Each structure stands twice: as structure tokens, then as C-alpha cells.
Amino acid sequence: MVERSKILSIALTLIMVLALFTAGCVSNDEETAESPDESSTGAEETAEDEEINVKGSTTVLPLAQAAAETYMENHPEASISISGGGSGTGIAALIDGDVDVAMSSRKMKDSEIKAAESNGINPVEHVIAWDGLTVVVNPDNPVNQLTYDQIKGIYDGSISNWADVGGPDKEIVVINRDSSSGTYGYFQEEVLGEDNEFRPDALAQSSNGAVLQYVSQNDVAIGYIGFAYLTDNVKGLDVNKGDGMVAPTSENILAGDYPLARPLPFYTDGQPTGLAADFTEYILSEEGTEIVYEVGYFPVLSK
């Protein structure tokens, strides 16, 4: 009987130990069961990170669109929304916290940086490519080259006839970009001088494509566009800043000889993270470099 009692006691003890062990396992399972909720929250945050808005320069636009298309083919979970409107529009959206990336064809102005900082935004520049701003005329125009002073005179109004620069005796139709354009700002600072104004009768166009179309259809018009937009429908002029005439060619831009070469930056609020960082790095990668060339611009490593 004693032995039987001992056996029952041992069995009961084992049952109790087993019950406690099982309870512990259930507790761990319950903790594990809570983990998916936490993981789910993390997944939702990741999903949010996989959608970005990119806005701004119509010069950078074709490069960003081409890169985003290829990137999303390789990363189906990613969503990159690209829209134009001009450098000023993109930068204003960044200052307001409405976009993840602002595309620009000029550097941010001091006033824009101050406005951003006062709004809690820390603008960080990332040069993703280089461009050669190209002064263009209609192919029927016999003028093939202009000096900086001649271009300045045409755009500030002191030169109004093509005969004054070696062309026909016809009034010059001056095509400009709208003031929100980074190309407008760069051209004004580089050619006219920051304190000089464009002639009031210049016809403002909202995009590179609009300038291209107008000049291609008017034999006395002159305009300026990003190199990637240059086609046989217009003629790119050689430019002389004082060191001789230089043609707007890829070779001259890559060599640093063309005077209207300029950087094309992205701007982000602080150092980018998640998809914004990955997309920026992708454009700078070997595959992205090929896209930069295909679009008609020049990779950063080439400058």
C-alpha cells in the first residue's frame, strides 16, 4: 500500500509539473500570438514607406519617369508617383511637407532654404545627373552660334533683330520659361546675371517641350531647353563664354568644356530613408547610369 501510495504521489507530482510546463508553453504561444500584430504594424509602416511622391522640374522629369518605371518593374511592391510643374513648384511642395522628393534643375535659393528650415524641413541636395542647357533656334535660321553677351542682349531686350547677331533682318521672337522653372532661374543667373531682368515681351512657356514646339514652328524664335529634349526639329547653337565657341554635344558636356553644363539635383527632407533613399541610389547605380544616358543626360560619375 505504501509503495502504491508513493507511486500515486509521484504520478500526481509529474502531472502537476506537466501542467505547469504546458501552461508555460501556452503563455509563450500567447506572447507569440501577439507578435503578428506587432509585425503587422511594422508591415503597414513598410508599406507606407514603399510609396513616395516625387515632384518638380520638367527637365528632370523624363529621367525620373524612366528610372521609376524600370525600378517598379524590378520592385512590384514599390509605388513612385512622378509629376512636373517646375523646380519652384517641387521645392515649395517639399517645404510644405507634401512630397518626399523635389526634383530641381537649379540649386535651392537661400530664401527657400530659410522657409524650409522655419517649417521644420531640412533640405538635403543629391545631384543625380548633369545637363547641358541648350540655346535653340529654328533649323531655317542661318545663325549657328552666339556669345554670352549676344544671348544676354537678346534676353534682356537690348538686341531685338537677328541682323544684329549675323542673321536676317527680322525681329527676334524670344521664348522664355515661366518663373517657377529651375531652368529659368539657372539661365537668368548664369547668362543675364542674377540682378538683371528678362525682357517683358518674352513669351513664357511652361515646359521644355512647349519651348521646343514653339521654336520648331517659328523661324525667328529663340529659346533654351535641357539637352535631353534636343531633336532635329530645332538647332542647338554653339556658345562662347569667352574661351571660344563650344557646341552643345555630349562630348563637350562630359569634358566640362560646354559653359552651360549644370547639375540636376533631388532634394529631400534630411537624409532620405526607405524607398526615397533606394530610388535615389538606384539612379546613381550602374543600371541607373544607363538610364541617365538613354534619356540624354550625363551621370554624376562622368563629371
203-205 and 173-177 strand pairing: parallel
Beta-strand ranges (E) seen in the chain are 51-56, 79-83, 101-103, 123-132, 134-137, 145-147, 173-177, 203-205, 221-225, 235-236, 238-240, 245-246, 261-269
Most confident of 2-6, 83-87, 160-164, 256-260: 160-164
| Amino acid sitting at position 121 | I
- What pLDDT does 225 receive? 96
- What pLDDT does 195 receive? 79
> Which has more pLDDT, 34 or 52?
52
What residue segments make up the domains of the chain, in order of their start?
49-130+263-302, 134-255
The two domains 49-130+263-302 and 134-255 share their CATH topology (first three levels equal): yes
Average pLDDT on 281-300 reads: 94
- Cα distance between residue 211 and residue 209, in whole Å: 5
Which one of 3.90.226.10, 3.40.190.10, 3.40.228.10, 1.10.510.10 gives the CATH number of domain 49-130+263-302?
Answer: 3.40.190.10
- At 194, is the pLDDT very low, low, confident or very high (cuts 50, 70, 90)? confident
For the ranges 194-198, 208-212, 229-233, the lowest mean pLDDT is seen at 194-198
pTM: 0.73
> Which has more pLDDT, 254 or 124?
124
- At 266, is the pLDDT very low, low, confident or very high (cuts 50, 70, 90)? very high
Q: 150: which residues sit within 8 A by CB, 6+ positions away? A: 159, 165
- At 302, is the pLDDT very low, low, confident or very high (cuts 50, 70, 90)? low
Q: Are 130 and 262 in contact (CB under 8 A)?
A: yes
- At 199, is the pLDDT very low, low, confident or very high (cuts 50, 70, 90)? very high
- What pLDDT does 46 receive? 37
Is the confidence at residue 10, as pLDDT, over 50? no
- What pLDDT does 40 receive? 33
Q: Which fold has domain 134-255?
A: D-Maltodextrin-Binding Protein; domain 2 (3.40.190)
> Which has more pLDDT, 21 or 86?
86
Is the confidence at residue 18, as pLDDT, over 50? no
Is the confidence at residue 141, as pLDDT, over 60? yes
Q: What is the pLDDT of residues 51-64, one digit of tens each?
A: 999 999 999 999 99
> Which has more pLDDT, 15 or 104?
104
3-state secondary structure string, 136-191? Answer: EECCCCCCCEEEHHHHHHHHHCCCCEHHHHCCCCCECEEEEECCCCHHHHHHHHHH
